[in-house]
């Protein structure tokens, strides 16, 4: 792989940009791999990357039914933060956020990580107490956040209307090193690095069966033929239930549509990310100037990657109250992704009833921020066969044991 | 927008009048049940890409619960029936078979 650098750009500029390599290879599948990962979203690719980088396991294939990064990874609103309430969450999300800080250098690929700051507005007394509690929890966890008052909110984000009639802004939980990154670039950067390590990324290849014998996986059947493997990792987000059914076990997961939309591009007006959980909306401004907006999930099981119009209408209606200037903006595009929701709104990084099969799912509405940390923890689990400290609390067995990692109260909203 | 026929009041109800109530025909377990049964009842879900049975409430209409047979991959609705039914009635199963031969859901086919 040729490295990207200022020198490389200069050299290519002088010879008409004819010397760039393809970022990754598109090989046909081989008959056997040490590890097969199903799903080339951010989490699958990051798992493969850290298998190679941290554990020296490079005979790896990543099998993807569509195109890499075409699932939720390429459909999300890219908010990165780690101000969760529970200790296991703070640990893995903060690991992830800190990996984002240097990811561009690590991958030699510009993922445009922008730690512009994330604020979660407190618009009810309940939220004020909740976020003060989270700020204290974060202090103990070593996650840098602060509870700020309304004046500071207005200073950081002048377009907010803090004296709204229904939901005035009473304060906010502020994480100065939270922010956004370019979603496609995260998938592309990991893919390029995996391909460079000799791993095979096999796109347009749907897994149709999980082959097994005596309680162990022997391989998979795909639309491009059978592939044998020593270990299987299932990292397919909304389709986790389908893969689990193929493998013969059940999951505490439901798949719902989550939508997002962007406005026409306007001049820079907001250089932080704002989440308003009571009214269910969040917003940031992209480098192109579009206001990037998201809200809550739709209510029913859905695999169509489309949502219902009234949900985005509710989101925009709510945001207009807090950001009156939005009312004159035209919305340009709207789309949906299928998110994998668990009962406690926390992910699953876990062994399965099949000895050499592992699953990573349940990131639901908030797994983009977790891509590097989740890949790190999943690679560790797959390499050693038992979960390390980051993954230990996120096992499938927590539902039976009643050890929930309850983030539904803390996070409240999708993001 | 999803529209479902309410089997109680006969209205063709828009999604905005309805509340989704999750997977239907769950077998409920109470105190004294073993961990397996509790885990299955409280957390494990079919979540199929295809034929699904789910509970809905006609919240801003007659207020009653009913069950919809629906395809989660296409949003096609096969039919609705009152929530008092312990299993999908035969005419609903026939309607599904006509559109999705070979369908399965839990131990139903
Ligand atoms: C609208 C929206 C907004 C969001 N906003 C945020 C946000 O602001 N911040 C945040 O942190 N998170 C956000 N999320 C959540 C985040 O996008 C996801 O948690 C994350 O991208 C999941 O990554 P993944 O790699 O697990 O899944 P995906 O990127 O969905 O990858 C899974 C892949 O598996 C493939 N696959 C499925 N079935 C098969 C099969 N049978 N064979 C082969 N391949 C298969 C799919 O094609 C897909 O490419 C948002 C999500 C949505 C939809
Ligand atoms: Zn009714």
Looking at the fold, whether A196 and A311 belong to one and the same domain comes out as no
CATH number at residue A212: 3.50.50.60
* Model pLDDT for residues A357-367, shown as the tens digit of each residue: 999 999 999 99
Query: How far is C-alpha A228 from the geometric centre of its chain's CA atoms?
Result: 29
Contact A365, A339 (CB under 8 A): yes
Domain of B84: which CATH number? 3.30.2270.10
Ligand 1: residues within 6 Å at CB?
Answer: A 38-44, 63-66, 70-73, 75-79, 206-207, 235-237, 239, 258-260, 294, 337, 339, 363, 365-369, 415
Closest-CA residue in chain A for B68? A300
Q: What is the mean pLDDT of residues A311-321?
A: 91
Q: A237, A241, A250, A300: which to substitute to probe chain B, counting the most B Cβ within 10 Å?
A: A300
**Best residue among A75, A236, A333 to mutate for probing ligand 1, ranked by most atoms within 8 Å of CB:** A236
For the CA of A235, the nearest ligand: 1
What is the best residue among A47, A69, A76, A304 to mutate for testing ligand 1's pocket, by most ligand atoms within 8 Å of CB? A76
Give percent of chain B above pLDDT 90: 95
**Pairwise pLDDT comparison (B24 vs A164), residue with the higher score:** B24
Residue B108 confidence class, pLDDT cut points 50, 70, 90: confident
> Residue A415 above 80 pLDDT?
no
Residue nearest to atom 51 of ligand 1 (CA): A76
Are B49 and A343 an interchain contact pair (Cβ–Cβ within 8 Å)?
A: no
Picking from A252, A253, A303, the nearest residue to B72 by CB comes out as A303
- C-alpha span between A44 and A234 (Å, rounded): 8
Share of chain B above pLDDT 70, in %: 99
Whether residue A294 contacts residue A248, with contact meaning beta carbons closer than 8 Å, is answered with: no
In a domain, B80, yes or no: yes
Same domain membership, residue A355 and residue A243: yes
Question: A172 has which bridge partners?
Answer: A121, A148
Min CA distance, A395 vs chain B (Å)? 14
Q: Which ligand is nearest to the CA of A93?
A: 1
Structure confidence at residue A409 as a pLDDT band (50, 70, 90): low
Q: Are A172 and A264 part of one and the same domain?
A: yes
- Rg, chain B, Cα only: 14
Domain range enclosing A355: 6-11+25-82+84-109+183-252+344-411
- Tell me what the pLDDT averaged over chain B comes to: 96
Q: Residue A300 is nearest to which of B44, B54, B73, comparing CB atoms?
A: B54
Residue of A189, A215, A218 lying closest to A352 (CA atoms): A215
Among residues A325, A342, A359, the one where a domain terminates is A342
d(C-alpha A6, C-alpha A296), whole Å: 42
Q: Quick one: A36 and A104 in the same domain?
A: yes
Q: Which residue has the higher pLDDT, A353 or A321?
A: A353
Chains A, B: CB contacts within 8 A come to 64
Q: Does A160 lie in the same domain as A103?
A: no
Please determine, for residue A412, whether its predicted confidence score (pLDDT) is greater than 80: no
Residues of A in contact with B43 (CB under 8 A): 252, 343, 399
The total number of structural domains that make up chain B: 1
Instruction: Tell me what the pLDDT averaged over chain A comes to.
Output: 95
In a domain, A20, yes or no: no
Instruction: Determine contact, residues A358/A381, Cβ cutoff 8 Å.
Output: yes
pLDDT higher than threshold 90 for residue A273: yes
Of chain A, the percentage scoring pLDDT greater than 70 comes to 98
**Which chain A residues are within 8 Å of B73, Cβ to Cβ?**
303-304
Chain-chain contact of B49 with A310 (C-beta, under 8 angstroms): no
* Tens digits of residue pLDDT in B64-107: 999 999 999 999 999 999 999 999 999 999 999 999 999 999 98
Are A100 and A187 members of one domain?
yes
Q: What is the pLDDT of residue B1?
A: 84
CB contacts of B40 in chain A (<8 Å) are 250
pTM: 0.97
Q: Ligand 1, residues A43, A211, A365, A371: which to mutate, most atoms within 8 A of Cβ?
A: A365
Domain boundary among A342, A364, A399: A342
Residues A241-251: what's their mean pLDDT? 97
Residue A310 has its nearest CB partner, among B16, B22, B43, at: B16
Q: Could you tell me the residue range of the domain that residue B108 belongs to?
A: 18-26+37-109
């Amino acid at each position: 792989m040729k490295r990207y650098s200022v020198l490389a750009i200069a050299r290519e500029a002088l010879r008409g940009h004819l010397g760039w390599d393809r970022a990754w290879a598109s090989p046909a599948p081989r008959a056997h791999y040490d590890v097969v990962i199903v799903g080339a979203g951010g989490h699958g690719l990051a798992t493969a990357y850290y298998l190679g980088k941290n554990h020296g396991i490079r005979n790896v294939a990543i099998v993807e039914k569509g195109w890499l990064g075409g699932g939720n990874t390429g459909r999300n609103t890219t908010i990165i933060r780690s101000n969760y309430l529970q200790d296991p969450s703070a640990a893995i999300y903060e690991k992830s956020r800190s990996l984002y800080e240097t990811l561009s250098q690590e991958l030699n690929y510009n993922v445009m990580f922008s730690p512009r700051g994330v604020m979660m507005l407190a618009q009810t007394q309940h939220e004020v107490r909740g976020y003060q509690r989270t700020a204290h929890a974060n202090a103990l966890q070593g996650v840098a956040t602060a509870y700020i008052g309304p004046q500071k909110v207005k200073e950081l984000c002048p377009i907010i209307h803090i004296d709204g009639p229904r939901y005035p802004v009473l304060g906010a939980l502020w994480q100065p090193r939270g922010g956004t990154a370019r979603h496609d670039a995260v998938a592309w950067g990991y893919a390029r690095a995996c391909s460079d390590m000799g791993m095979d990324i096999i796109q347009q290849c749907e897994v149709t069966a999980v082959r097994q014998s005596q309680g162990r996986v022997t391989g998979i059947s795909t639309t491009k033929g059978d592939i044998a493997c020593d270990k299987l990792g299932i990292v397919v987000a909304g389709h986790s239930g389908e893969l689990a059914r193929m493998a013969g076990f059940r999951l505490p997961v439901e798949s719902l549509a989550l939508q997002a939309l962007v406005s026409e591009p306007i001049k820079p007006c907001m250089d932080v990310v704002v989440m308003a959980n009571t009214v269910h909306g969040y917003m940031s401004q992209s480098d192109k100037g579009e206001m990037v907006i998201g809200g809550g999930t739709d209510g029913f099981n859905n695999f169509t990657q489309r949502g219902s119009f009234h949900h985005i209408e509710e989101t925009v209606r709510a945001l207009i109250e807090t950001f009156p200037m939005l009312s004159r903006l035209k919305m340009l595009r709207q789309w949906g992704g299928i998110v994998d929701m668990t009962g406690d709104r926390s992910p699953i990084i876990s062994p399965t009833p099949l000895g050499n099969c592992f699953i990573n799912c349940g990131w639901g509405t908030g797994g983009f921020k977790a891509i590097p940390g989740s890949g790190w923890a999943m690679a560790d689990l797959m390499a050693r066969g038992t979960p390390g400290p980051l993954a230990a609390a996120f096992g499938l067995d927590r539902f039976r044991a009643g050890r929930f990692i309850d983030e539904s109260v803390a996070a409240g909203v999708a993001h | 927008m999803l529209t479902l026929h309410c089997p109680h009041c006969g209205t063709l109800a828009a999604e905005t009048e309805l509340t989704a109530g999750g997977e239907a025909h769950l077998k409920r377990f109470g105190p004294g049940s073993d961990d397996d049964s509790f885990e299955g009842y409280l957390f494990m879900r079919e979540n199929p890409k295809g034929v699904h049975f789910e509970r809905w409430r006609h919240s801003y209409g007659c207020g009653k619960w009913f069950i919809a047979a629906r395809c989660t991959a296409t949003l096609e609705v096969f039919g609705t029936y009152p929530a008092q039914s312990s299993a999908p009635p035969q005419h609903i199963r026939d309607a599904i078979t006509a559109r999705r031969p070979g369908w399965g859901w839990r131990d139903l086919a």
